[in-house]
């Protein structure tokens, strides 16, 4: 019989052949490397049969799907080890996830990382035994009988559609409910490691039972595993929540509420420096700054569409706009986005085609009702500030404006040394607008990326409800990817608010609107920067750039005099005048990630020099004060 390969070619195989047979027919090397397959777009085991005309692809360690099959299989091995070690374990779900796998379990023993050595040792024995993953399809009644002592599995079985295929996988004496696919055997797992234990409600429902979630990861080589574990250790060292506290950048207080960061003086300095830097650049690029309220009457949100599409993520409240005798309650909403305000500002005046493009920007603080379980320091907060901008333009100006925005992205990300990639998200199922408008908008984003020589991937169906978008994802110093900048086409809001402009032919047309943010959330961007630089921000952005350390009291006057010169040059400086040993002062400045430490003693005072110490490179020797002031002046905005 004939099957179709990914390149479109046809391969003849014997009647009754399996995916493994297809791999062998292609070549001995592929047969050895094969881990699973994809038949007619469905992932399957190597033992799965193929039929006449099937489309067949082979999954190997190099395939995008390979790592998921590996990690899902490793989750089963971990589950088998837990049963062997602790007996009566109740299992929830155990999927592969982005960086590994987990299994939710209920176990009499309270598991902790101290138990990992024993669990991993048993997993190693199961892997060494090269136990095959054996698939079986069973009836609903058989499945319920097989998992009668597994209440979570029984619940999952009962939720399956009546016509669902129910399958199990067995390795050794352990059988699990699973749709697969899996590796041919446990021996195909070369590198695995358990990473952490956490609590997790069954099905994520806080009203349901709390289970233990055991996390792990697996790779196709021990080297890849070691690299991942090193990066994990690095990520813990770089955690912006830990560094933010140690460096005095920001704080959270439960009394204030979940996900509401408060900036200490150093954090406020960083935020304002970022804003002022970007503000100057935006003025040069033809943007105009505006300021809009934090709350609006609900009618604004009903007009914009947010009331119908986004209400669950907003905060609404009532205000009495009448009197005590005749109360009249009006509903207001705290803004989750800045766009309606900018739209109303546009509508405040009549515009012609000569006014366009019109570019408004704002550092606008917004509030969104994020679930407490997903709030994570600065990276996901309920209150945050966006470097928001909206460009009102003609349909024909969209491509040029998006190209200009991508130029700005280049400038910002290049300043911080971020490599980045783009993703274009297309029309979602729940959306507003005509097919023609969506097609034109999506094509405009693609054309802008092509003109900018920016490669992109398509994310089908993940656009905003009002238009397609480009998401910019940056890669940090340890290889993690973060979603930052976004450019969104909006042909919906101008329509809803009745925006117009006078054309060259003296007719009325709707402007198109582009939403764009480069930092995105400034809080999130700051969190990324802290982790990217491990807290050691660039000189121009550091909240404290210089610490002067007088060796003795008689050197303090000279230290303060030079500090005044540094401030005049635009620098941020502090004199450590405390009665402490010099090594203690240096250690303190080093812990605070201060870029430069200047030591001043008799020699420096007499010669008009400073002894310079760099936080990364250590002792830089003796500099003239003029030399150092030049460095500070260059870093000033």
Instruction: List the catalytic residues.
Output: 339, 368, 386, 388, 390, 469, 515
Cis peptide before 184 (omega within 30 of 0): no
Q: For residue 625, which of 571, 551, 552, 588 has the smallest C-alpha distance?
A: 571
Q: For residue 467, which of 353, 386, 391 has the smallest C-alpha distance?
A: 391
Residues paired with residue 262 on neighbouring β-strands, in sequence order: 251
Q: Do you know the residue count of the chain? A: 637
Integer Cα distance of 626 and 473 in angstroms: 41
Residues paired with residue 527 on neighbouring β-strands, in sequence order: none
Integer Cα distance of 599 and 556 in angstroms: 11
Integer Cα distance of 530 and 238 in angstroms: 7
Integer Cα distance of 571 and 634 in angstroms: 10
Integer Cα distance of 623 and 611 in angstroms: 6
Where do we find the tokens 């796998």? 101
Integer Cα distance of 398 and 356 in angstroms: 11
Q: Are 74 and 111 in contact (CB under 8 A)?
A: no
Q: What are φ and ψ of residue 428, in 5° steps? A: -85, 170
Share in percent of the chain as helix, strand, coil (round to 5): 40, 30, 35
Residues paired with residue 176 on neighbouring β-strands, in sequence order: 169
Q: What are φ and ψ of residue 575, in 5° steps? A: -100, 125
CA dihedral 96, 101, 106, 109 (to 10 degrees): 160
| CA-to-CA separations, 537 to 120, 175, 294, 472, in angstroms, rounded | 39, 52, 31, 22
Starting at the edge strand that comes first in sequence, how are the strands of the sheet with 512-521 ordered?
288-289, 358-367, 383-393, 512-521, 481-490, 469-475, 419-425, 456-459
Cα angle for residues 571, 279, 341 (degrees, 5° grid):
140
* Burial class of residue 617 in the structure, from the number of CB atoms within 10 Å of its CB (0-12 exposed, 13-18 middle, 19+ buried): exposed
Structure-block tokens of residue 173: 């004496």
What does DSSP assign to residue 354? Answer: G
Sign of CA dihedral 454, 455, 461, 462: negative
| CA-to-CA separations, 323 to 283, 297, 327, 386, in angstroms, rounded | 45, 18, 5, 37
Integer Cα distance of 495 and 456 in angstroms: 29
Integer Cα distance of 174 and 170 in angstroms: 6
Helix (H) or strand (E) holding 363: strand 358-367
DSSP-assigned letters across all residues of 302-368: HHHSHHHHSGGGSEEEEEE-S-SSS--EEEEEE-S-SHHHHHHHHHTS--BGGG-SEEEEEEEEEE-
Output b/e per residue, 74-93; b: 16+ Cβ within 10 A. Answer: bbbbbbbbbbbbbeebbbbb
């Amino acid at each position: 019989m004939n099957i179709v390969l990914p390149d479109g070619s046809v391969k003849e195989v014997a009647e009754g052949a399996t995916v493994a047979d297809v791999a062998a027919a292609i070549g001995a090397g592929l047969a050895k490397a094969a881990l699973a397959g994809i038949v007619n777009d469905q992932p399957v085991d190597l033992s799965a049969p193929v039929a006449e005309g099937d489309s067949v692809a082979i999954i190997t360690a190099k395939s995008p799907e390979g790592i998921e099959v590996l990690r899902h299989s490793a989750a089963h091995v971990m589950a088998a080890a837990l049963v062997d070690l602790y007996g009566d374990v109740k299992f929830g779900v155990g999927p592969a996830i982005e960086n590994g796998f987990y299994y939710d379990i209920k176990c009499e023993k309270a598991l902790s990382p101290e138990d990992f050595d024993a669990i991993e040792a048993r997993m190693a024995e199961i892997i060494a035994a090269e136990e095959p993953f054996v698939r079986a399809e069973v009836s609903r009644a058989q499945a319920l009988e097989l998992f009668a002592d597994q209440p979570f599995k029984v619940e999952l079985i009962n939720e399956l559609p009546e016509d669902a295929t129910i399958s199990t996988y067995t390795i050794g004496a352990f059988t699990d409910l699973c749709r697969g696919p899996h590796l041919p055997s446990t021996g195909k797992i070369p590198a695995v490691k358990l990473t952490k234990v956490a609590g997790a409600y069954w099905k994520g429902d806080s009203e349901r039972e709390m289970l233990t979630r055991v996390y792990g990861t697996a790779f196709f080589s021990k080297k890849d595993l070691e690299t991942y574990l090193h990066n994990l250790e690095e990520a813990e060292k770089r955690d912006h929540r830990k560094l933010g506290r140690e460096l005095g950048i920001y704080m959270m207080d439960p009394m204030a509420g979940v996900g509401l960061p408060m900036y200490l003086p150093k954090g406020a300095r960083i935020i304002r420096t970022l804003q002022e830097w970007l503000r100057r650049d935006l003025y040069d690029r033809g943007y105009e700054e505006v300021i809009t309220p934090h709350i609006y009457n609900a009618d604004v949100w009903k007009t914009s569409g947010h009331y119908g599409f986004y209400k669950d993520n907003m905060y609404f409240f009532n205000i009495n706009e009448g009197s005590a005798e005749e109360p009249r309650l009006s509903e207001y909403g705290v803004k989750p986005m800045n766009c309606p305000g900018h739209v109303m500002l546009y509508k405040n005046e009549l515009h012609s085609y000569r006014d366009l493009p019109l570019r408004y920007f704002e550092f606008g603080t917004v509030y969104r009702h994020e679930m407490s379980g997903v709030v994570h320091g600065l990276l996901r907060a309920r209150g945050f500030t966006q470097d928001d901008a909206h460009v009102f333009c003609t349909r024909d100006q969209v491509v040029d404006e998006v190209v200009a925005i991508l130029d700005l992205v280049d400038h910002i990300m290049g300043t911080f040394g971020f490599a980045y990639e783009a993703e274009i998200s297309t029309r979602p199922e729940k959306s507003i607008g005509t097919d023609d408008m969506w097609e034109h908008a999506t094509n405009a984003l693609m054309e802008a990326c092509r003109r900018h020589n920016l490669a992109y991937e398509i994310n089908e169906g993940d656009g905003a409800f009002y238009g397609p978008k480009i998401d910019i994802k940056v890669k940090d110093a340890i290889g993690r990817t973060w979603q930052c900048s976004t450019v969104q086409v909006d042909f919906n809001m101008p329509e809803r608010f009745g925006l117009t402009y006078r054309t060259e032919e003296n007719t009325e047309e709707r402007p198109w609107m582009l939403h764009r943010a480069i930092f995105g959330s400034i809080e999130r961007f700051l969190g990324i920067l802290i982790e990217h630089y491990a807290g050691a921000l660039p000189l121009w952005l550091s909240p404290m750039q210089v610490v002067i350390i007088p060796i003795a009291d008689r050197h303090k006057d000279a230290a303060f005099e030079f500090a005044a010169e540094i401030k005049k040059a635009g620098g941020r400086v502090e004199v450590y005048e405390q009665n402490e040993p010099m090594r203690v002062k240096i250690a303190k400045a080093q812990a605070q990630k201060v870029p430069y430490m200047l030591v001043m003693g008799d020699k420096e005072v007499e010669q008009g020099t400073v002894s310079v110490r760099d936080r990364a490179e250590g002792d830089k020797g003796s500099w003239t004060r003029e030399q150092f002031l030049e460095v500070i002046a260059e870093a000033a905005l």
